[in-house]
Structure 1
Amino acid sequence: MGCCSSKNADSKATRVNRWRSTGIVALRDSKLKTFPDDILDLDGSVRTLDLTHNRLVEIPMDISKLINLQRLVLADNLIERLPINLGKLQYLKVMTLDVNQISTLPDELGQLVRLEQFSISGNSLTHLPETIGSLRNLVLLNVSKNKLKFFPESIGSCFSLEELQANENSLEELPSSVCSLVNLKSLCLNSNNLKQIPSDLLTDCKALQNISLHNNPISMEQFQQMRGFQEFESRRRKKFDKQIDANVMISSKGLDEGVDL
């Protein structure tokens, strides 16, 4: 019995030492219901934390101890809310919270000023905080499969945003501020309630190469009559021509992806 306990202790110590030396904690599919204290005790040693596909209901306030955390992956859990202390993770660059039960985001989200990728698809969000506009380094935002009816005006301040995915929501309109997203390349809005999009979107978002509006009450004719459509179409075709020239395998559906209505 004592021998077995000793082996377990050694195994635990070995695991903690590995986490400390690599900076990577990966406990996928471990049936966890709470955050292991061993992780929180590592403080500044952890750079990547992946607890995908567990049974976590909450993120502890003490997560703020992981001051050097850069990647936080908590997809496929039972998390209902985010702690305000999350905003103290000042080095966080990637946060993945897909397939949880989150209905609101704290205003402190805006304190994650180094965040580059934020994915929270498959939750129950009804709105995004105005503070999301403080995420000036955000490149990818995925809020698909939620219950959003609108975006805050502040979304236009996410100047680095290149890809915005908001499929399967209840969006009825887009704020005019999205026209300020000059680096936006891909806008995915399938299965919403959009009857129109901002009239200056195609003229102001000169990097835009892909718009997907399938299953919305907006017609292809409406889209083609927008100012800047020809320029957008030229960028779209140029993008796919480059892929073909580089021998990238794409399907016929892929060729139509740029204007999916």
Structure 2
Amino acid sequence: MGCCSSRSSDSPASRATRWRSTGIVALRDARLKEVPNEVLQVGNSLRTLDLTNNKLVEIPQEVGGLVNMQRLVLAGNLIENIPANIGYLRNLKILTLDRNRISILPEELGSLSNLQQLSISHNSLLRLPKSVGDLRNMSILNVSDNKLKELPESIGGCNSLEELQANGNLIEDVPSSICNLVCLKSLSLNGNKIRQLPQNILKDCTALQNISLHDNPITMDQFQQVSCMKHLQFSCTVANLVLIGDTFIFPVCCRRMDSTSLRRVEGRNLTSRSIPVS
């Protein structure tokens, strides 16, 4: 494909020429400890940079000069910090930072006005910058498996967001501003500490089709409007909610019950009956 430097006969000059021609640099699994200079010298011709599964510890400041880059993939490295000048990459559409050691994202992230997909799962994120709400064109956000205790109120500004994954964090509260996400189709918050959702989330998020809340201490009282949902996954630590036709089946775990039972919830008024589990 003319985008990889795995051939030992290639000189740095010939690789750079090829990269400028294709606009693509893909150096996966190359055991790189730093970004090669010839990659940085591709300059404005670079559209895609994929350095997945290397041993990079940092992103060089020079990456901020690759202003025409549209796709930056740095998954599976040892990166701890993101330079502030990443905000110069105004044409960036996809940013993938999964499986690194990142704890903080710079506020300049919000300057990526054309960003459509941000994935930073399996890191050590303590918080998201307030500027995440400035990412008006972002449709997919994956911050699963970090150390987040909350989602910023500003996330309500991501008015193009269709999919939000924040599984495996320490989140206790979901900000009320999430109700502003009228394009949101899928919300996945498994494995957190959530006890309740914003009261109007199912009413205001009119595009919402899927909510997944496995392994959260949340009660069924929060689901009095589930008739508008197409698929809802709910768990109180024992089993998963199952959707059969237009009927929701979810586990009910009661301290006073001798055995676990399933409860079927039907219709707009959520009349219910218990079904014993054999």
Residue 94 of structure 2 corresponds to which residue in structure 1? 94
**1:229 positional shift:** 1.9
Residue 112 of structure 2 corresponds to which residue in structure 1? 112
Map 1:142-157 onto structure 2 (within 5 A): 142-157=142-157
Residue 176 of structure 1 corresponds to which residue in structure 2? 176
Q: Using the alignment, how far apart are the partners of 1:254 and 1:115 within structure 2?
A: 34
Map 1:129-140 onto structure 2 (within 5 A): 129-140=129-140
The answer to whether the Cα contact below 8 Å between 1:147 and 1:170 also exists between their aligned partners in 2 is yes
Instruction: String of CA shifts for 1:194-244, please: whole Å, max 9, x gaps.
Output: 00110100000010000000000013x22432xx32122xx449xxxxxxx
Q: Secondary structure at the match of 1:138?
A: coil
Q: Using the alignment, how far apart are the partners of 2:129 and 2:70 within structure 1?
A: 22
**1:259 positional shift:** 8.9
Residues 75, 255 of structure 1: alpha-carbon distance in 2 compared, 3 angstrom cutoff: farther
- Percent identity among equivalent residues? 56
Moved more, 136-145 or 9-18: 9-18
Q: State the one-letter code of the partner of 1:222.
A: D
Q: State the one-letter code of the partner of 1:108.
A: E
The answer to whether the Cα contact below 8 Å between 1:28 and 1:54 also exists between their aligned partners in 2 is yes
Q: State the one-letter code of the partner of 1:24.
A: I
Instruction: String of CA shifts for 1:16-70, please: whole Å, max 9, x gaps.
Output: 2221111000000000001100011111010000000000000011112211000
Larger helix proportion of the pair: 1
Q: Using the alignment, how far apart are the partners of 2:70 and 2:242 within structure 1?
A: 33
Instruction: String of CA shifts for 1:98-128, please: whole Å, max 9, x gaps.
Output: 0000000001000001000000000000111
Aligned residue among 207, 227, 231 for 1:230: 227
Residue 123 of structure 1 corresponds to which residue in structure 2? 123
**1:255 positional shift:** 5.1
Q: Which runs of 5+ in 2 are unaligned?
A: 1-6, 233-239, 252-278
Q: Which runs of 5+ in 1 are unaligned?
A: 1-6, 238-251
The answer to whether the Cα contact below 8 Å between 1:212 and 1:259 also exists between their aligned partners in 2 is no
Q: State the one-letter code of the partner of 2:133.
A: G
Residues 163, 44 of structure 1: alpha-carbon distance in 2 compared, 3 angstrom cutoff: same
Larger radius of gyration: 2
Q: State the one-letter code of the partner of 1:215.
A: D
Q: Using the alignment, how far apart are the partners of 2:204 and 2:51 within structure 1?
A: 40
Aligned CA-pair RMSD? 2.1
The answer to whether the Cα contact below 8 Å between 2:231 and 2:243 also exists between their aligned partners in 1 is no
**1:178 positional shift:** 0.2
Larger strand proportion of the pair: 2
The answer to whether the Cα contact below 8 Å between 1:57 and 1:78 also exists between their aligned partners in 2 is yes
- TM-score, with normalisation over the residues of structure 1? 0.85
Q: Using the alignment, how far apart are the partners of 1:182 and 1:171 within structure 2?
A: 22
Q: State the one-letter code of the partner of 2:209.
A: Q
Q: Secondary structure at the match of 1:193?
A: coil
Q: Using the alignment, how far apart are the partners of 1:139 and 1:109 within structure 2?
A: 15
Q: Using the alignment, how far apart are the partners of 1:260 and 1:182 within structure 2?
A: 26
Residue 20 of structure 1 corresponds to which residue in structure 2? 20
Instruction: String of CA shifts for 1:79-107, please: whole Å, max 9, x gaps.
Output: 00000110000100000000000000001
Residue 205 of structure 1 corresponds to which residue in structure 2? 205
Residues 197, 21 of structure 1: alpha-carbon distance in 2 compared, 3 angstrom cutoff: same
Q: State the one-letter code of the partner of 1:180.
A: N
Q: Using the alignment, how far apart are the partners of 1:8 and 1:113 within structure 2?
A: 39
The answer to whether the Cα contact below 8 Å between 2:199 and 2:222 also exists between their aligned partners in 1 is no
Larger relative contact order, structure 1 or 2 (CA cutoff 8 Å, min sep 6): 1
